[in-house]
Amino acid sequence: MLNLDLMFYPKSIALVGASSDKKKLGSIVLKNIIDSGFRGEIFPLNLTATTISGLKTYKDYADLPSIPDLALIAIPAKFVLEVLEKIIQKGTKNVVIFSAGFKEAGSEGLALEQKLLEIIKKNSIDASTKINVLGPNCLGFVNNLYPVNVTFGQPVNKKGNLRFISQSGAIASSVFDWAEYNEIGFSEFITLGNKTDLNENNILKYCYDNDITSQTQEKGTSGLVPIGMYLESIIDGKEFINISKKISAKNPLFLLKPGKSNESKKAMQSHTGSIAGEDYVLDVALKKAGIIRCDGIEDFFDLAKVFAWEKIPKGRNIAIVSNAGGPAVLSSDFVASEGLQLVRFDEETRNELEMYLPRAASIFNPVDVLGDALAERYESAIKTLIIDDDVHSLMIILTPQVMTQIEKTAEMIGRLSFEYGKPIICSFIGGSHIAKGEKVLNKFKIPSFRYPERAVKAIAKMSQWGEYRDTLNINSENQNLEVDSGFSEVLLQQNTTDRKNMDSFEVNQILKTHGINTSPTAKCVNIDAAKLFVQENNFPVVLKISSPQMLHKSDEGGVIVGIDSVEKLEEAFGSLQKIILNMDKSGLNTIQIQKQVAKGLELIIGSKKDMVFGNILMFGAGGVLANLIEDRNLGLIPLSKTEIITLIKNSKVNKLIEGYRGEKGYDSEKIVDLILKFQNMIASNPKISEADINPVILNDDGIWAVDGKMILI
């Protein structure tokens, strides 16, 4: 287990590359350390100067009078390794490398970074000798709780309850600038850079182990310690989920991560050299870990503000108070599309609103206090709603009309928020005038957004996180899988000396090994073998080409169904033989016969190994429907039985399973059972890279794996 306490709470810091040239990195970092109010010792290292900023400098790390807890490296990349060795020799264990010019800068840089990693590994033999390196190519970190600021960038010394982890230094610069403007404070702000050694999981673990709640709660804040993350890659998906789950059970985690499109994946490779997993898998994983994903930078900033300042709503019921009908109505659209609910006020609430508001006002939700509303009228409405238990959050819309008391209204909202503590989010819509109201709201730590849709979206994501948290706290279902004996592992090994694709006959055998129902089948060397099969199993049968080369048999004419006579059997056999003659002569292409399964509901069950998060399970409509209705429902293996049932329930094909428009339904228990067996097969055979059964046919006789494919690593 890592101990990063001396990294983030150092008693002494050495800065290699300290400088008095104000444009240089080593000068900016030094200034930030001093300005942050750091109370420990600072050792600047510089080859020529004797003092910098009034501090005695040193030429060589070996000459330092004591062992610094933390060393900062702010010199060109080519000198970094040599200095690092000296730092380690001296006994310093925590290092931040600001220098760029490593793997992000092409092949030479990559080689340098590999050497850097070797040095770290070589010297980290056990927990007691472990060297912790942040970066290279990072912006450093800030710990306002201590305080210490070892960044090169704008100072961000305002203390607050937000934690930030950013892989990118540039995003960090923008967040700093945004935070200053919005009067937002941080506890820690840590940039990761190239993540040669320390990565997001180490930092998350550090955050989890260090509960800073009691140190960070000012009046008006959320009572939480939210963590915002900007990541371009995730190093170890399983570890990431594990640690995130623990954090999410108590504090919000929200993530901005590019990579939805192929374009961005390409751009990311040239930018950080990191290879990302599939993006759709990420969404499944984040949900499991209770992490809110941001849709863009705006979302990221918005969530930072609301999670820092507002309590999590108890539910999805929202009440809107507005001095303008138009924006209130628009907001109602977003309330619906974001999955929130406009509370229906009970009679008591309506009566009270009626008492205080003019006749033309709307006492239904959204409440329209009318264009001439002064702060007092707003107050009557808000006071009524803030004590209504059905109202889980309040959104206050203000447009700057002639009579509107912008600052006075903001002040009043602030007071009520302090007094009652119910989540309130504002949308003061406009520009120059409403900015004055925003300033007042900031003072009371009430988030305000210039567009009501942003406010609604922020509330929706808060509520979503609230639900994640509750699920994580309730759901302690044991998810340990019983792993099969290695029988099909053996089978796989026998067959995979030189190829990755299983043929359909082999897949059939492997499925059977794991208890999955398949239809009787055999390989036929000739037509007589096929006839013999029919004698034992009767018509109708299916003939298909079993070949590791042919993954899409149906599309290539390699499957003939509905064979119900000897004549048809002979004809079908002949036509498949012709296709095989045109294929290569590997001898791997044979004809497979199979008892035809009676019609039923066609499903697909598959899996794919994701490089970051491991095996992903897919379930949905099979056969012709599969592509038409795009019914892809994903989960991370292993899924609990409850999760499998939910997966089925949320699929489009579930309508057919439950019985569609008066037609009879199907037994979903059988599907659950098949998925459990299938994921067991995947989990116990790490060599399977991709597998699917398509179609699975569910009929009155049972559930049948009719055809499948499998690709090994």
Residues from 571 through 630 that contact a second copy (CB under 8 A): 624-625, 627-629
> In the complex with a second copy, which residue's Cβ is closer, 52 or 179?
179
Q: Which two tokens stand for residue 101?
A: 């010019």
Radius of gyration of the chain (CA): 32
User: Looking at 252-260, 504-512, 566-574, 671-679, which segment touches a second copy (CB under 8 A)?
Assistant: 252-260
Window 655 to 694, contacts with a second copy (CB under 8 A): 655-656, 660-663
> In the complex with a second copy, which residue's Cβ is closer, 185 or 327?
327
Window 97 to 116, contacts with a second copy (CB under 8 A): 100-101, 104-106, 109
At closest approach, how far in Å is the CB of 355 from a second copy?
17
User: Looking at 60-68, 432-440, 522-530, 698-706, which segment touches a second copy (CB under 8 A)?
Assistant: 432-440
Size, binding site for a second copy by CB under 8 A: 103
Binding mask 278-297 for a second copy (x = CB under 8 A): -----------------xxx
> In the complex with a second copy, which residue's Cβ is closer, 120 or 284?
284
Burial class (CB in 10 A: 0-12, 13-18, 19+), 261: exposed
Rounded Cα–Cα distance for residues 484 and 77 (Å): 50
Q: Where are the alpha helices (DSSP H) in 389-537?
A: 406-420, 432-443, 452-474, 487-495, 504-513, 527-537
Burial class (CB in 10 A: 0-12, 13-18, 19+), 110: middle
Nearest CA-CA partner of 614 in 658, 679, 554, 711: 679
Tell whether residue 464 is a contact of a second copy (CB under 8 A): no
Residue 577's φ and ψ, nearest 5 degrees, are -60, -40
User: Residues 111, 125, 387, 403: which binds a second copy (CB under 8 A)?
Assistant: 403
Q: DSSP E strands: which ranges in 471-627?
A: 521-524, 541-546, 559-563, 590-595, 601-610, 614-621
Binding mask 12-51 for a second copy (x = CB under 8 A): -----------x-x--x-----------------------
At closest approach, how far in Å is the CB of 539 from a second copy?
23
Q: Where are the alpha helices (DSSP H) in 213-363?
A: 213-216, 237-248, 262-272, 279-289, 297-309, 325-337, 347-356
At closest approach, how far in Å is the CB of 313 from a second copy?
18
Binding mask 531-570 for a second copy (x = CB under 8 A): -----------------------xx-x-------------
Rounded Cα–Cα distance for residues 698 and 599 (Å): 8
Binding mask 303-342 for a second copy (x = CB under 8 A): --------------------xxxxxxxx-xxxxxx----x
User: Looking at 5-13, 89-97, 359-367, 522-530, which segment touches a second copy (CB under 8 A)?
Assistant: 359-367
At closest approach, how far in Å is the CB of 335 from a second copy?
6
Binding mask 181-220 for a second copy (x = CB under 8 A): xx--------------------------------------
Residue 488's φ and ψ, nearest 5 degrees, are -75, -20
> In the complex with a second copy, which residue's Cβ is closer, 302 or 643?
302
Give the 3-state DSSP-derived string for 92-142, with helices as H, strands as E and coil as C: CCEEEECCCCCHHHCHHHHHHHHHHHHHHHHHCCCCCCCCEEECCCCCEEE
Which residues make beta-bridge pairs with 292? 254
User: Residues 57, 168, 463, 508: which binds a second copy (CB under 8 A)?
Assistant: 168
Q: Which amino acid is present at 7?
A: M
User: Residues 123, 154, 210, 513: which binds a second copy (CB under 8 A)?
Assistant: 154
DSSP, collapsed to helix, strand or coil, labels residue 189 as: strand
